[in-house]
């Protein structure tokens, strides 16, 4: 089970076990991070699970869909490392990845 590092809005880091086959959103939400709202439950229809991915891991992620890109465009906190955590599957390649919960818009 890969370990990821979740950074909350206060900058505090927590190690979280993430089950392969689930999404980053599920791993973060299920470990009690209320800052990650995930209002649509992972349907890629809102941007409330917006995170910033460690740059070293960006090439280990699946390509961003047009829908995800459009939703991220609505965020004032988007940067080149932005992803919707509901669209990022947990794999062994994410071991040690640092994921920062983006500020709310």
pLDDT tens-digit profile of 21-71?
A: 999 999 999 999 999 999 999 999 999 999 999 999 999 999 999 999 999
Q: How many CB atoms lie within 10 A of CB 70?
A: 11
Specify burial of residue 40 (Cβ count, 10 A radius: 0-12, 13-18, 19+).
middle
Domain ranges, residue 30? 3-101
Return the H-helix or E-strand segment holding 16: strand 13-17
* CATH, residue 94: 3.10.20.30
Q: Would you place residue 4 in the very low, low, confident or very high pLDDT band (cuts 50, 70, 90)? A: very high
How many domains does the chain fold into? 1
Q: Give the ranges where the chain is alpha helix by DSSP (H).
A: 24-30, 66-73
pTM: 0.95
- Residues facing residue 15 across a β-bridge: 5
Per-chain mean pLDDT for the chain? 96
């Amino acid at each position: 089970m890969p370990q990821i590092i979740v950074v909350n809005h206060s900058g505090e880091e927590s190690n979280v076990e993430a089950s392969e086959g689930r999404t980053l959103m599920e791993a973060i939400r299920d470990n009690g991070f209320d800052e990650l709202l995930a209002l649509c439950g992972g349907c890629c229809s809102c941007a409330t699970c917006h995170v910033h991915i460690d740059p070293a891991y960006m090439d280990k992620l699946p390509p961003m869909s047009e829908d995800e890109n459009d939703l991220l465009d609505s965020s004032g906190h988007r940067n080149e490392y932005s992803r919707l955590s509901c669209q990022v599957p947990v794999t062994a390649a994410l071991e040690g990845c640092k994921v920062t919960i983006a500020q709310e818009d």
